[in-house]
Amino acid sequence: MTDHSSAHMHEMAQNETLIDLAADPFVLFAEWMHEAEKSEPSDPNAMTLATSTPDGHPSARIVLLKGADRRGFVFYTNQQSRKGDELAQNPNVALLFHWKSLRRQIRIEGAVTPVTPHEADAYFASRSRISRLGAIASDQSRPLADRALFEARVKEAETLYAHTDIPRPDNWSGYRVTPSAFEFWQERPYRLHDRARWVLQAGMWSTTRLYP
């Protein structure tokens, strides 16, 4: 690398703000999410949820974050889906948020606990009517011989609940991920990225910067 290139790289790096190791990880998450809500074109609350079987076979999928506070990070699903089956056997999960427009990502590790029935009822009631009917009609993750069968079940549910409230199915609820670790990643020039990790130890957050 020439002296000019080295100087240019140093100048660009100096202009980038490093992740603040003194920050509260929940506050920093909220700040980054708020910025993502202003810049991401679609679903800034989309996150990868990674689960695993007890013998260590992982699976991952995109779900939507539907609640975030100091108690944890909430998502909803059919509890008889593949993810629900795996969570029943192994509550340890990982979350990943990636915001391409901001050149940022956040990794969260922790364990899930069920949300309360009241929380699940309130969120289910907030969904569109067709989404609630779909939740009733779907045997999520189970084999489907013909798409027409699912569509017919949606229509049956629509007829059944044409003049009444749509109840939340017993097997549909939410999970709260209580974090034990955060990792914040910020892209920087020349792949000299900034990474910082928070780990919960004896009720206190221990922080460290990581090599990119």
Catalytic positions are 191
What gap in Å lies between CA 103 and CA 186, rounded to an integer?
Answer: 6
> Which residue is it, tokens 């979350």?
95
Cα 26–chain centre separation: 14
Helix axes 129-137, 147-160, angle to 10 degrees: 120
Cα 207–chain centre separation: 22
DSSP-derived secondary structure for 98-131: EETTTTEEEEEEEEEEEPPHHHHHHHHHHS-HHH
Give strand pairing partners of 50.
Answer: 60, 94
What gap in Å lies between CA 45 and CA 43, rounded to an integer?
Answer: 5
Give strand pairing partners of 105.
Answer: 98, 185
According to DSSP, residue 2 is labeled -
Helix or strand or coil: residue 23?
coil
CB 178 within 8 A of CB 113: yes
